């Protein structure tokens, strides 16, 4: 196995990269679990065995796998339709969904469906990503102002709901959120590769203890199980599988698009990752997520960029990241009980703000009528009807404008090397 992963020479760099990504992954995994409507430990569980599974089978040396924002939003939408009656717990349904996503990935890879990533045009993807970022941001307004806002698929419905509940806003939570956003942005500007989210999480836990914010009504995460995830097959009924399967196909498409773009942008092997093998590897990672009671996972562009910048040169970096999360689960979860939910929402909002690439959007709108139409239609459908219908719209408009479509999106890195972005690709 040491030969397969190239352990000897890049060991130190991979360990450093793994630790760096762990510092970014822990707050993001908890936040994206909350975005999916799940307890924070579910995100941590999904950041353990799935990372090892991808490291064993993946073809990209730099891709960082784990919970990501848009996949978590799709997960929330999928779970809302099957857990409303109370017969199925969201945690159990998420594990079943991850398993189905894994099976769809593997089947697509075996059937040589890896090239499906090229079916979505850049204008449609830019519109979809920007609209999804807006939906994600709106979904976090409730925790940021300290009120409960029911989930809606359409942005207009969410905005109306927020407006009706503004009178119940909790002032201490709002103040905490505003300060947290300011600190987070300032830390990122001072040193973009600094683990700003982890520092914010740790600082907020200390602030809760010093100011007794819980007693003042600030909503806290609460007790997180101080144990490793157990490995077990998720229990599923035929009805549950039938309800979740359409969402599994959508998550597979969106997650693979993001993963493939990130792998192409930062892989250091000198060759493009094999898309069919990547599907199988990502499928295996999602099957592992189902086994440990996690949620669906994918490759994250921002974490892959950090992994690459920190010196990762083999997939041992992912194993090191998984080990770091396991250490946190064993030793540090009691401290996370005092973590304010508003701070997790801040992590989400700041992270997804980078999904809206204004320069790319302006470029597509001015380039041609078909590009502008692709972006506008996809964004409008996503904003009004939700992420699932938005994915279908992106495929439809891409097929309609296939002859004008550029063959391959290109990644761009700024001159300072401090920020990484794939045009229209979710981070």
Per-residue model confidence as pLDDT tens digits over 362-405: 888 888 888 899 999 999 999 999 888 888 898 888 888 875 54
Q: How far apart are CA 210 and CA 408, in angstroms?
A: 52
**Residues 104-118 pLDDT 10s:** 999 999 998 877 665
Do the domain assignments include residue 215? yes
For every residue of 293-360, DSSP letters joined together read T----EE-HHHHHHHHHTT--STHHHHHHHHHHHHHHHHTHHHHTT-BHHHHHHHHHHHHHTT--HHH
**Which residue would you say has higher pLDDT here, 99 or 416?**
99
pLDDT at 226 > cutoff 50: yes
Q: What is the pLDDT of residue 10?
A: 60
Q: What is the pTM of this model?
A: 0.85
Q: Are 278 and 109 in contact (CB under 8 A)?
A: yes
**232 secondary structure, DSSP code:** -
pLDDT at 412 > cutoff 50: no
Q: What is the pLDDT of residue 415?
A: 29
Q: What tokens appear for 425 in the block?
A: 């690709």
Do the domain assignments include residue 423? no
**Residues 228-263 pLDDT 10s:** 899 999 999 999 999 999 999 999 988 988 887 777
Q: What percent of the chain has pLDDT over 70?
A: 88
Do the domain assignments include residue 2? no
Do the domain assignments include residue 75? yes
Do the domain assignments include residue 58? yes
Q: Are 326 and 50 in contact (CB under 8 A)?
A: no
Q: What tokens appear for 5 in the block?
A: 């992963």
Do the domain assignments include residue 426? no
Q: What is the pLDDT of residue 394?
A: 87
Do the domain assignments include residue 3? no
Q: How far apart are CA 346 and CA 141, in angstroms?
A: 10
Bridge partners of 411, per DSSP, are 422
Instruction: Work out the number of other CB atoms within 10 angstroms of the CB of residue 164.
Output: 11
Q: What is the pLDDT of residue 82?
A: 86
Q: What is the number of alpha carbons within 13 Å of residue 388 lying toward its C-beta?
A: 16
Q: How far apart are CA 374 and CA 377, in angstroms?
A: 5
Do the domain assignments include residue 87? yes
Number of structural domains in the chain: 1
Q: Are 343 and 221 in contact (CB under 8 A)?
A: no
Closest CA to 371 of 117, 121, 118, 120: 121
Q: What tokens appear for 348 in the block?
A: 């989400």
Q: Which residue range(s) make up the domain with 124?
A: 9-407
**Which residue would you say has higher pLDDT here, 416 or 61?**
61
**Which residue would you say has higher pLDDT here, 150 or 355?**
150
């Amino acid at each position: 196995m040491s030969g397969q992963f190239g352990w000897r020479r890049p060991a130190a760099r991979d360990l450093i990269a793994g630790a760096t990504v762990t510092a970014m992954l822990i707050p993001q995994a908890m936040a994206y679990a909350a975005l999916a409507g799940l307890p924070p430990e579910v995100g941590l569980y999904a950041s353990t065995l799935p990372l090892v599974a991808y490291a064993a089978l993946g073809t990209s040396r730099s891709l960082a796998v784990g919970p990501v924002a848009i996949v978590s939003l799709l997960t929330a939408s999928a779970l809302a339709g099957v857990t409303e009656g109370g017969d199925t717990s969201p945690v159990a349904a998420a594990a079943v969904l991850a398993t189905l996503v894994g099976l769809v990935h593997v089947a697509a890879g075996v059937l040589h469906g890896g090239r499906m990533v090229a079916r979505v045009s850049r204008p449609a993807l830019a519109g979809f990503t920007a609209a999804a970022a807006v939906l994600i941001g709106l979904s976090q307004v409730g925790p940021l102002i300290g009120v409960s806002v029911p989930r809606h698929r359409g942005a207009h419905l969410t905005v109306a709901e927020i407006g009706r509940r503004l009178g119940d806003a909790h002032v201490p939570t709002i103040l905490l959120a505003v300060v947290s956003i300011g600190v987070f942005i300032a830390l990122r500007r001072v040193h973009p590769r600094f683990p700003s989210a982890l520092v914010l999480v740790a600082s907020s836990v200390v602030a809760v203890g010093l100011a007794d914010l819980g007693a003042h009504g600030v909503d806290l995460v609460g007790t997180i199980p101080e144990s490793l995830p157990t490995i077990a097959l998720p229990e599923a009924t035929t009805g549950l599988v039938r309800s979740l399967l359409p969402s599994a196909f959508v998550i597979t498409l969106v997650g693979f698009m993001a993963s493939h773009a990130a792998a192409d942008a930062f892989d250091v092997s000198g060759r493009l990752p094999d898309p069919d093998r990547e599907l199988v590897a990502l499928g295996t990672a999602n099957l592992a997520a189902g086994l440990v009671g996690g949620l669906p996972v994918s490759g994250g562009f921002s974490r892959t960029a950090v992994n690459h910048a920190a010196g990762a040169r083999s997939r041992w970096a992912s194993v090191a990241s998984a080990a770091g999360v396991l250490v946190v689960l064993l030793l540090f979860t009691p401290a996370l009980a005092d973590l304010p939910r508003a701070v997790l929402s801040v992590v989400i909002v700041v992270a997804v703000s980078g999904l809206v690439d204004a320069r790319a959007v302006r470029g597509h709108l001015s380039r041609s009528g078909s590009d502008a139409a692709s972006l506008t239609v996809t964004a409008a459908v996503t904003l009004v009807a939700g992420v699932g219908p938005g994915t279908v719209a992106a495929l439809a408009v891409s097929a309609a404008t296939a002859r004008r479509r550029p063959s391959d999106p290109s990644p761009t890195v700024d001159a300072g090397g401090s920020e990484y972005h794939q045009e229209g690709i979710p981070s």
